[in-house]
Amino acid sequence: MAEAAQVAVIGGSGLYRLLDDADEIRLDTPYGKTSDVVSIGNLGGATVAFLPRHGRNHELAPHHVPYRANLWALKQLGVRRVIAPAASGSLQPGILPGDIVICDQLVDRTSGRADTYCEPGCVIHASLADPYCEALRTLACTAACQLHIRVHGEGTVVVIQGPRFSTRAESRWFAQSGWAVVNMTQYPEAALARELGLCYLNLSVVTDRDAGVIGNPDAPPVTAQSVLEVLRQGMGQARQLISAIVEGLDSASVCQCQALAAEARI
């Protein structure tokens, strides 16, 4: 087997490859196959595992991503920290395409997704009060500022089922609720990471101003092609930020993610 990795990157839309000169392995799990092969190589002086969330050819829609298999496989490889960039739409006038939001909260609006490792005979009541690792968030904010990346150090992501985009009415509702960005994959990924005791960090790469946002009522509808066009530029910044975060991991403060997972099991 390839060398164990303590940190992983789950690549979102637009980020299908990350590592040069990497070993590729296919892992089977109790929850089926992962989205794609896992690549293991060097980044920022550390051994890093990389897994494209939607597959390297973007063949998996958000509601078809094997979230449980993905997180389980990374845990098998020895991963303790997960960096998860994800394409997102802005819900607030001050958050612009190309910005990165380091989310601190999420709202789940999905349905029917396999979202727990709690099986018959195993009871898990995971705390998701603070779904993202605070130590990794602090590190990411510092790294983004040093790179002069336009970043928002907090914000709530509302996770919709997809694969369709929001109606204008839904977008106005989300914006009026004060939520920062909208995305289709942060749940159940963050919740599953918590159950496994993995530190989990979201980097929301803003691709568009969602239809219906205050101050943007006549915006053209969001389309897949317009999102991909912005991603070609935004993911370049995300790559820089990911590398800087990995380089700074040794200086990250102690967090409660593993303790919260241990306390969740009855």
Residues involved in catalysis: 208, 210
Is residue 50 within 8 Å of residue 8, measured between CB atoms? yes
Where is the binding site, in residues?
Answer: 13, 53-54, 184-185, 208-210
Q: For 80-135, what is each residue's pLDDT tens digit?
A: 999 999 999 999 999 998 899 999 999 999 999 999 998 888 888 989 999 999 99
Torsions phi, psi of 46, nearest 5? -125, 155
What average pLDDT does this structure show over 244-265? 84
Known binding-site residues for substrate equal 184, 208-210
pTM of the model: 0.91
Return the pLDDT at 1. Answer: 46
* Domain 7-264 -> CATH class: alpha beta
Domain borders along the chain are 7-264
Instruction: Count Cβ neighbours within 10 Å for each residue of 193-229 and write b for 16 or more, e otherwise.
Output: bbbbbbbbbbbbbbbbbbbbbeebeeeeebeeeebee
Q: Which amino acid is at 173?
A: W
CB 40 within 8 A of CB 49: yes
Tokens representing residue 50 in the block: 């990389």
217 CB-near residues (< 8 Å, 6+ apart) = 168
Return d(Cα 252, Cα 136) in angstroms, integer: 7
- Average model confidence (pLDDT) for the chain? 89
Burial 130-143 (b: 16+ CB within 10 A, else e): ebbbbbbbebbebb
Binding residues for phosphate: 13, 53-54, 185
pLDDT tens sequence across 156-175:
999 999 999 999 899 999 99
Phi, psi of 87 (to 5 degrees): -65, 135
